[in-house]
Chains A and B, each alone.
Chain A
Amino acid sequence: MSVIIQIKNVSKSYWRNSLEIPVLHDLTLNVKEGEFLALMGPSGSGKTTLLNLIAGIDRPSKGELNVAGTDIAKLNESGLAKWRSASVGFVFQFYNLIPVLTAFENVELPLLLTKLSKSERRKHVENVLSIVGLGDRIHHYPKQLSGGQEQRVAIARAIVTDPVILVADEPTGDLDKTSAQEILTLMERLNKEFKKTIVMVTHDPHAAEKATRLLHLEKGDLV
Chain B
Amino acid sequence: MKIFKLIFKNALRHKLRTSLTIFGIAIAVIAYGLLRTVVTIWDSSIDAAGADRLITRQAVSFIFPLPLAYKTKIESVSGVKEVCGAAWFGGTYKDKSNFFARMAIDDNYFDLYPEFMVSKNDLDKYKKERNGCIVGKSIADQYKFKVGDIIVLDGDIFPGRWEFVVSGIYLPKNKNTDATQMLFHWDYLNERIKQETPVRGDQVFWYIVKIDNTNNSAQISEQIDALFKNSTAETKTETEKAFTQGFVSASGAIITAMNFMSFAIIGIIMLVLANTMVMSARERTREYAVFKTLGFSAYHLTGLILGESMLISCIGAGIGIFLLYPIVSGFEQVMPKGFFPFFFIEPITIILAASSALLIGVLASIFPIQRALHTKIVDGFRFVG
Contact surface of A with B, Cβ cutoff 8 Å:
52, 55, 57-58, 78, 81-82, 84-86, 90, 92, 96, 98-101, 105, 108-110, 112-113, 157
Q: Is B335 an interface residue (CB 8 A)?
A: no
Q: Mark B368-385, 1 if CB is under 8 A from A, else 0.
A: 000000001110010000
**Cα–Cα distance between A85 and B295 once the two chains are bound (Å):** 5
Task: List the count of A-B residue pairs having beta carbons below 8 Å apart.
Answer: 54
Select from chain B the residue with minimum beta-carbon distance to A112: B1
Q: Are A57 and B6 in contact (CB under 8 A)?
A: no
CB pair B295–A81 under 8 Å, yes or no, is yes
Q: How far is the CB of A119 from chain B (nearest CB, A)?
A: 13
Smallest beta-carbon distance A24→chain B, Å:
13
What's the minimum C-beta distance from A70 to chain B, rounded to whole angstroms?
Answer: 14
> Any chain A CB within 8 A of the CB of B4?
no
**CB-nearest residue of chain B relative to A53?**
B378
How many residues from B make CB contacts under 8 Å with A?
Answer: 21
Asked if A110 and B287 make an inter-chain contact with CB atoms under 8 angstroms apart, the answer reads: no
User: Contact between A90 and B295 (Cβ–Cβ < 8 Å)?
Assistant: no
Q: Does B194 lie at the interface of the complex (its beta carbon under 8 Å from any beta carbon of A)? A: no
Q: Across the interface, which residues of A come within 8 angstroms of B6, CB to CB?
A: 98, 100-101
CB <8 Å contact, B377 and A82:
no
Does the CB pair A81–B290 fall under 8 Å? no
B312–chain A nearest beta-carbon distance, Å:
16
* Leading 10 A-B pairs by shortest Cβ distance: A85-B295, A100-B9, A57-B377, A81-B295, A105-B1, A110-B294, A96-B290, A58-B378, A84-B295, A113-B295
Pair A84/B297 contact, Cβ less than 8 Å: no
Which residues on B are within 8 Å of A, measured CB to CB?
1, 6, 9-10, 12-13, 286-287, 289-297, 376-378, 381
Contact A57:B293 (CB < 8 A) given known A101-B1, A105-B1: yes
7 additional A-B residue pairs with CB within 8 Å, beyond A58-B378, A98-B287, A113-B295: A58-B377, A82-B295, A86-B295, A96-B286, A101-B6, A110-B295, A157-B294
Measured between beta carbons, the chain B residues less than 8 angstroms from A57 are: 292-293, 377-378
The answer, among B1, B12, B290, B378, for a CB contact under 8 Å with A52, is B378
Q: Are A109 and B378 in contact (CB under 8 A)?
A: no
Pull 5 A–B residue pairs with CB atoms less than 8 Å apart, ordered by A.
A57-B293, A86-B295, A96-B290, A108-B1, A110-B294
For the complex, what is the distance from the CA of A92 to the CA of B12, rounded to whole Å? Answer: 26
CB contacts (< 8 Å) of A96 on chain B: these are 286-287, 289-290, 381
Question: With the chains together, A82 CA to B293 CA distance in Å?
Answer: 10
Q: For residue A100, which residues in chain B have a CB less than 8 angstroms away from its CB?
A: 6, 9-10, 12-13
Q: Which chain A positions have C-beta within 8 A of B289?
A: 96
Taking the closest CB of chain B, its distance from the CB of A162, in whole angstroms, is: 14
Residues of chain A with a CB closer than 8 A to B292's CB: 57, 81
Contact partner of B9 among A52, A101, A108, CB < 8 A?
A101
Residues of A within 8 A of B381 (CB): 92, 96
Q: Which of A90, A98, A101, A157 has the most CB of B within 10 A?
A: A98
Residues of B within 8 A of A101 (CB): 1, 6, 9
Contact, CB under 8 Å: B13 / A90: no
Tell me the bound Cα distance from A90 to B286 in angstroms.
14
* Among B12, B286, B296, contact of A113 (Cβ-Cβ < 8 Å): B296
In the complex, the answer to whether A98 meets B378 with C-beta atoms within 8 Å is no
Q: How far is the CB of A15 from chain B (nearest CB, A)?
A: 12
